[in-house]
């Protein structure tokens, strides 16, 4: 008696040598355009015709290579909803429909080879708890909504959106096959995007490029990515852009057209490098923008109209690569927002950049150099105070040496009390030099600033000018630091 094996999934007769029917058996060895594919589709049609439902539910089916014209022909014309449950797409699949299906839902499916959705119109395509082991591409679709939840994307594989019109994408909980590694890439290329929401996801790259434009909103919340890359992207009028609680290694924004109502960076940390070029930051709000550990490059970035509420700059932000014009803009924005401390930091940076500018005239360069050395352009009052004391000490010792006051020390040959006497004497006279116009300095022993005849006149005048400059620096620095 011949034994008939039943499919372990559905109970139908097994196909060939398999332990499953033609729908549920493995197609790993099936080739593209395999003759068995027709048999597979006939069985699928039969399944649908028997169900007589507008919903086509396909469970645990392993799909062979699919292409446009084999898939969903007229026999499926009454289908308006397709549900794939735990299905496996083991061959390359190009998925486009003869008729429009408003809702397509994949749950716990595995996409082993590249998969393509094209020419969909007004459909919602959802993937939930799916494993994407290759790439999924949405190309040339119109008014589609793509919802991807709790799915994983394997290393360097791509979820690509290309030339779609009126596209809405919602990605939530996109993680990786290997936990803790950022591997997958999401790319938008030449799309007309209505909105993008990316939440609680871990990615290698999120890229919006090639004249993609956004009409409603871009929202990234709780995103961790190695690279956030926006290139040749337009934010259209009345759109909004929000990055919140995001953590990225590299942030590259290049040639961004900004007509948004606002762009907000709330709690965004850039770890390694930030390169922005040709980006207009008006209506951009920076709240908790952490740049403390990354290198910075701003090229033709406009900061006028930006709200620099709280940016944590790298302590080494003087190494920032940018133009003097950009630094001046950042400084003036901080001035406008009454953040004088950071305004002063950028003023100092601006002055430093001007000093090393090869086109600066030589005399101005000298003045700039002296200002830099004395007080870092009024940023430090400790340094000029120290210089003032040091100058007074040098002047006193010089003065006393020329008057022969140190001969006592040399003569006494190490007499301790005499040494103390000399030190006290230096300190006492030093105080006269600290304030150059003091009564004591002018009316000392000889009634002159330098009581030695050789140093009278010219040197006294030089010392007065020098110490006045230093005191002016102290006053400016104290005033700058304490202004309201
Ligand atoms: Zn079966």
Cβ-contact 61, 89 below 8 angstroms: no
Percent of the chain's residues with pLDDT above 90:
35
Q: Is 52 left (phi over 0), alpha (psi -120 to 50) or beta?
A: left
* Distance (Å) from CA 72 to ligand 1 centroid: 20
Q: Which of 16-30, 359-373, 409-423 has the lowest mean pLDDT?
A: 409-423
Does pLDDT of 409 surpass 60?
A: no
Computed from CA positions of residues 452, 455, 457, 461, in that sequence, does the dihedral angle turn out positive or negative?
negative
* Distance (Å) from CA 427 to ligand 1 centroid: 101
pLDDT category, 69, cuts 50, 70, 90? Answer: very low
Chain position carrying tokens 């000029």: 384
* Distance (Å) from CA 4 to ligand 1 centroid: 14
Check residues 158 and 415 and name the one with the higher pLDDT: 158
Average pLDDT over residues 450-454: 50
Over residues 298-319, the pLDDT tens digits come to 999 999 999 988 899 887 777 7
* Distance (Å) from CA 135 to ligand 1 centroid: 27
pLDDT category, 338, cuts 50, 70, 90? Answer: confident
* Distance (Å) from CA 21 to ligand 1 centroid: 4
Does pLDDT of 145 surpass 90?
A: yes
Q: Which of 7-11, 161-165, 424-428 has the lowest mean pLDDT?
A: 424-428
pLDDT category, 415, cuts 50, 70, 90? Answer: low
* Distance (Å) from CA 342 to ligand 1 centroid: 69
* Distance (Å) from CA 278 to ligand 1 centroid: 58
Which residues are CB-neighbours of 42 under 8 A, at least 6 positions away? none
Beta-bridge partners for 250:
227, 273
The phi, psi pair for 258, rounded to 5°, reads -115, 105
Burial (0-12, 13-18, 19+ Cβ within 10 Å), 352: middle
> Is the pTM value of this prediction over 0.75?
yes
* Distance (Å) from CA 22 to ligand 1 centroid: 7
Angle between helices 382-403 and 458-482 (to 10 degrees): 160
pLDDT category, 393, cuts 50, 70, 90? Answer: confident
Q: What token pair was written down for 149?
A: 């939840």
Does pLDDT of 163 surpass 90?
A: yes
What does 166-226 look like in DSSP terms, one character per residue?
SEEEEEES-B-SSTT----EEEEES-EEEEEEEEEEEEEEEEEESSEEEEEEEEEEEEEEE
Report which DSSP code applies to 312.
E
pLDDT score of 418: 65
* Distance (Å) from CA 42 to ligand 1 centroid: 14
Q: Which of 114-128, 138-152, 252-266, 339-353 has the lowest mean pLDDT?
A: 339-353
Over residues 362-371, the pLDDT tens digits come to 888 888 788 8
Of the spans 29-33, 84-88, 390-394, 417-421, which averages the highest pLDDT?
Answer: 84-88
Average pLDDT over residues 40-54: 81
pLDDT score of 1: 56
Computed from CA positions of residues 330, 331, 336, 342, in that sequence, does the dihedral angle turn out positive or negative?
positive
* Distance (Å) from CA 108 to ligand 1 centroid: 18
In angstroms, the Cα distances linking 414 to 410, 419, 426 are 7, 7, 17
Q: How far is CA 185 from the centre of its chain?
A: 16
Beta strands at 295-302 and 311-312: parallel, antiparallel or unpaired: unpaired
Distance, CA of 467 to CA of 342 (rounded, Å): 29
* Distance (Å) from CA 40 to ligand 1 centroid: 11
Distance, CA of 206 to CA of 160 (rounded, Å): 10
């Amino acid at each position: 008696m011949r034994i008939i094996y039943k499919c372990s999934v559905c109970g139908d007769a097994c196909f060939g040598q398999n332990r499953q029917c033609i729908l549920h058996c493995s197609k790993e060895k099936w080739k593209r355009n395999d003759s068995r594919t027709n048999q597979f589709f006939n069985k699928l049609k039969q399944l649908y015709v028997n169900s007589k439902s507008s919903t086509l539910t396909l469970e645990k089916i392993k799909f062979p290579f699919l292409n446009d014209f084999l898939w969903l022909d007229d026999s499926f014309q009454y289908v308006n909803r397709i549900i794939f449950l735990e299905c496996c797409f083991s061959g390359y699949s190009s998925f486009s429909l003869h008729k429009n299906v408003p809702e397509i839902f994949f749950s716990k499916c595995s996409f082993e080879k590249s998969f393509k959705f094209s020419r969909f119109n007004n459909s919602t395509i959802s993937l939930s708890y799916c494993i994407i082991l290759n790439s999924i591409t949405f190309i040339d679709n119109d008014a589609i909504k793509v919802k991807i939840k709790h799915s994983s994307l394997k290393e360097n594989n791509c979820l690509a959106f290309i030339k779609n019109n009126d596209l809405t994408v919602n990605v939530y909980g996109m993680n990786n096959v290997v936990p803790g590694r950022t591997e997958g890439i999401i790319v938008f290329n030449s799309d007309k995007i209505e909105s993008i929401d990316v939440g609680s996801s871990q990615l290698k790259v999120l890229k919006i490029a090639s004249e993609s434009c956004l009409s409603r909103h871009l929202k990234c919340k709780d995103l961790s990515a190695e690279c956030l890359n926006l290139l040749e992207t337009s934010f259209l009028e009345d759109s909004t852009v929000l990055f919140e609680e995001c953590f990225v290694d590299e942030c590259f924004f290049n040639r961004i057209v900004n007509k948004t109502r606002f762009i907000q960076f709330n709690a965004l940390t850039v770890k390694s490098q930030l390169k922005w070029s040709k980006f207009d930051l008006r209506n951009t709000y920076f709240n908790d923008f952490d740049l403390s550990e990354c290198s910075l490059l701003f090229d033709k970035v406009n900061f006028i109209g930006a709200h620099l509420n709280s940016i944590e700059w790298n302590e080494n932000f003087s190494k920032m690569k940018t133009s003097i014009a950009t630094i001046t803009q950042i400084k003036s924005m901080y001035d406008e927002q009454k953040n004088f401390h950071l305004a002063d930091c950028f003023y100092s940076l601006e002055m430093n950049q001007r000093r090393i500018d090869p086109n600066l005239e030589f005399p101005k360069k000298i003045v700039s150099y002296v200002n830099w050395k004395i007080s870092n352009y009024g940023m430090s009052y400790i340094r000029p105070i120290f210089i003032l004391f040091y100058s007074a000490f040098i002047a006193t010792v010089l003065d006393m040496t020329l008057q022969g006051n140190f001969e006592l020390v040399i003569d006494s040959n190490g007499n301790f009390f005499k040494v103390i006497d000399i030190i006290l004497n230096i300190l006492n006279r030093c105080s006269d030099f600290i304030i150059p116009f003091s009564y004591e300095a002018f009316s000392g022993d000889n009634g002159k600033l330098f009581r030695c005849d050789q140093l009278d006149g010219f040197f006294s005048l030089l010392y007065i000018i020098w110490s006045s400059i230093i005191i002016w620096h102290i006053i400016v620095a104290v005033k700058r630091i304490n202004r309201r």
